[in-house]
Structure 1
């Protein structure tokens, strides 16, 4: 390599370094101005652009330097500079798109929550993952084409080989399809409390992936459930309940059966006047059965709150008030008792 060529290569590398710094400075300035707006699209665009554009500048700079050297060299390596440059450009564009889709998804959710607007995190994250997958597959096909691979022949082979691959990876495909159905049907979302009567699955959803869903159980262990499971089991989502139910049986003594109609009326009045009870839902206070040691009645009503701790506080107040009503009517809550009736009084005297 002569001295003139060395200076040319050095100048190209220096110019590339300066250009990369200038481009980075310009993008950072534009990004800082874009943050003054409420639109998160431009924020995600400029935040995702910095690193890929720097990489693109360096790829172009090294490509120019390599062409200068190739003009004075017969090395086979320099014949592939064009292909390497094209693949590098494709990778930088892909890197930008992947960063942009991920950043925009995160900023979109954050902006909606900051405004107090409803946002379906599961759907937004699912669409983001789907688009990133499309970008990755497209990139792979473009790179293969640049490497001289016949895409048409590859797809034709895939039609035959896909059968064998499908049989070997059918569980993976089942899980991916299950993940797709979760994103489409949305039986639950991240943060929901779910449980299944068919399996020992109960906890809070932390992450929904294409293959598995991560659930934090109530003993704080992380449970990974394959998505295909959710297509074959019944699933309950308590997080989407509209009310919580109070359904309790209370028994009074047989000696207090005369006071029971008044007790039932007072309990019903209390529940109808209770602001914690939803009056638009079913409210029942009725005698239910004559049990062995008690006369049982039940209360059936719905609370306004669905919060677990608040519900138990409401239920506690209701139960204590029912105890007060029974006590005010000179009655008692029954407990298992047995009364012995002896007809022959002489039998008792004989025992004394």
Structure 2
């Protein structure tokens, strides 16, 4: 078909004997380029019109396909137009440069096919991971991994087809790749380790883009921004980018706080020894308050008990979980819980203990102000003991 179009146009122009041969060539090439431009413009408008019409349909794949195929279709029309124009010029001039028309047409068609497939994959990636387009969007990390794999397959296949079209033997290329791959593997073992580390991350999915992760083995903590085939980009909490080779995640432990179900409140409250009579009602009221709190998950472990006789306090263990996992809201809930516990202790006439010391003196020993019979140093020592005793009794 592509060979008949230039022939028909040339035959028509040859019938016009009024024009010299050079002008007939120029007119033929100009006519083909002009027709190509008009057809490309019309095709672009038609596909754009169809794209707008199918947006109202429930099927999203037709939207993705039309959006991905519009520009490659226009480029395909231009490819055919330029090919026909070059064929027309070759029939007149017989120039060596036009002998590559068929090869350029095949390579251009392969390039346009790859462009179209990559566009469809990109549109599908956006569509499958967008909550506004599908009811159950797929995990963005999984979609990205699959799309990268499909792109790699398409590009490698296209390269092999192009090499075959140019006259190279694919079997020889594959054999060379098998032998050379061993040498490359030894030379680039770290690169391959990172590649397979990225593959393991995509397979096991210990974290995904947007998760907050940290490692107790390394100084790694932040939000995952991108999972590549060689590096994982993490944004630390001070907004610095941290680039971690994927191979590191195969040898270290990784925590994923983003997947926690609750956040824990674990505190130890101490009251004074003189308030021991109030221990039971204080513990009961704190437990009741936590059980009725709107932000405390009563399906999780809740412990409020007298824990131990400490050096200067009677300790109460408070152990519970919040419903929220959001960092900022968790601290707001924790503040509210601690303030309510303080109000409960105060309501029972007790006080929260702080480190104190009581000094007991044998009977018959009196503290003197040091105004008689003693030096200045003795007065200061007695005053210090008196002050310490006063604070201890208080």
TM-score bracket, normalised by the shorter chain, equals over 0.9
Residue 327, structure 1, aligned to residue 346, structure 2: yes
Residue 214, structure 1, aligned to residue 233, structure 2: yes
Give the whole-Å Cα distance in 1 for the aligned partners of 2:247 and 2:314. 50
**Alignment correspondent of 1:229:** 248
Give the whole-Å Cα distance in 2 for the aligned partners of 1:75 and 1:11. 20
Instruction: Pick one of 262, 269, 272 that aligns with 1:243.
Output: 262
CA shift at 1:349, angstroms?
Answer: 4.8
- Checking the alignment, whether the CA contact within 8 Å between 2:222 and 2:237 is kept in structure 1 is yes
CA shift at 1:350, angstroms?
Answer: 8.9
Relative distance call for 1:27 and 1:206 in structure 2 (3 A) is: same
Relative distance call for 1:6 and 1:115 in structure 2 (3 A) is: closer
Residue 93, structure 1, aligned to residue 92, structure 2: no
Residue 123, structure 1, aligned to residue 153, structure 2: no
Instruction: Pick one of 196, 201, 208 that aligns with 1:182.
Output: 201
CA shift at 1:252, angstroms?
Answer: 0.8
**Alignment correspondent of 1:266:** 285
**Alignment correspondent of 1:292:** 311
Equivalent positions of 1:141-180 (< 5 A) are: 141-180=160-199
Give the whole-Å Cα distance in 1 for the aligned partners of 2:102 and 2:81. 13
CA shift at 1:239, angstroms?
Answer: 0.7
1:229-273 deviations in whole A, cap 9, x for unaligned?
Answer: 111111111111101101001111111122212211221122122
Give the whole-Å Cα distance in 1 for the aligned partners of 2:137 and 2:258. 15
Q: TM-score, normalised by structure 1?
A: 0.94
Unaligned stretches of 5+ residues in structure 1: none
**17-26 or 112-121: bigger deviation:** 112-121
CA shift at 1:33, angstroms?
Answer: 0.7
- Checking the alignment, whether the CA contact within 8 Å between 1:113 and 1:119 is kept in structure 2 is no
**Alignment correspondent of 1:81:** 101
2:129 aligns to what SS in structure 1?
helix
- Checking the alignment, whether the CA contact within 8 Å between 1:48 and 1:96 is kept in structure 2 is yes
Relative distance call for 1:113 and 1:169 in structure 2 (3 A) is: farther
Supply the RMSD in Å over aligned alpha carbons: 1.8
1:72 aligns to what SS in structure 2?
helix
**Alignment correspondent of 2:17:** none
**Alignment correspondent of 2:75:** 55
**Alignment correspondent of 2:364:** 345
- Checking the alignment, whether the CA contact within 8 Å between 2:128 and 2:134 is kept in structure 1 is no
Residue 312, structure 1, aligned to residue 331, structure 2: yes
Give the whole-Å Cα distance in 2 for the aligned partners of 1:6 and 1:118. 56
Unaligned stretches of 5+ residues in structure 2: 1-20, 372-394
Give the whole-Å Cα distance in 1 for the aligned partners of 2:34 and 2:134. 47
The number of aligned residues is 351
2:154 aligns to what SS in structure 1?
helix
- Checking the alignment, whether the CA contact within 8 Å between 2:127 and 2:134 is kept in structure 1 is no
Question: Which of structures 1 and 2 has the bigger CA Rg?
Answer: 2
Instruction: Pick one of 250, 271, 275 that aligns with 1:252.
Output: 271
Deviation beyond 6 Å, 4+ runs, structure 1: none
CA shift at 1:214, angstroms?
Answer: 1.5
The structure showing larger relative contact order (alpha-carbon pairs under 8 Å, at least 6 residues apart) is 1
1:101 aligns to what SS in structure 2?
helix
**Alignment correspondent of 2:62:** 42
Give the whole-Å Cα distance in 1 for the aligned partners of 2:72 and 2:159. 18
- Checking the alignment, whether the CA contact within 8 Å between 1:203 and 1:217 is kept in structure 2 is yes
